[in-house]
Structure 1
Amino acid sequence: MSVSRMVVISGFAVALLLVAVLEGLARRPGSRIPTLGDVCAYVMQYEVGKLPVGRIGVLGFWWWVGWHFFAR
């Protein structure tokens, strides 16, 4: 395995760990940090006229994740 691949994998592992830590901090009683579910709900309610831009953005994000990590 090349060094650059290990650096990228390590970077994603660190990012995932930071998200998990942030979610843990958000779920403490009295925390002012929004949970990941709260952030997703806020983004998905965004609309321009009748066009659900937030939902399209979340769908596009999941498409990108699936394309880059699961399509081989």
Structure 2
Amino acid sequence: MTARNLLIAGFAVIFAVMFLVDLSGRRPDSTVAPLGNALIAAMRTGTGRLIVLGTWLWMGWHFLAR
């Protein structure tokens, strides 16, 4: 397994965990916030907006630049 394949597998695992946490947050009796609500909370502050923007830029650079 090459390093590239290992990184792709690692990102796939991270996204799968994010998806499962989001699904568990959408249950009526859950105490976990869904991803959309977490992003809304992060976008309320300037620092949160910079972090979200930086994350989008980083993801775009690494996944769309090739």
Which TM class, normalised by the smaller chain length? 0.7 to 0.9
**4+ residue runs over 3 A deviation:** none
Residue type at the aligned position of 1:6: N
Q: For the pair shown, which has the larger CA radius of gyration, 1 or 2? A: 1
Residue type at the aligned position of 1:55: R
Query: Percent identity, aligned pairs only?
Result: 39
Displacement of 1:42 in angstroms is 0.9
Displacement of 1:7 in angstroms is 1.1
Q: Could you tell me how far apart the structure 2 residues matched to 1:11 and 1:54 are?
A: 25
Aligned length in residues: 66
* Residue aligning to 1:41: 40
Pairs within 5 Å for 1:6-45: 6-45=5-44
- Pairing partner for 2:53 from 59, 62, 70: 59
* Contiguous gaps of at least 5 residues in structure 1: 47-51
CA root-mean-square deviation: 1.3
TM-score between both structures, scaled by the size of structure 1: 0.80
* Contiguous gaps of at least 5 residues in structure 2: none
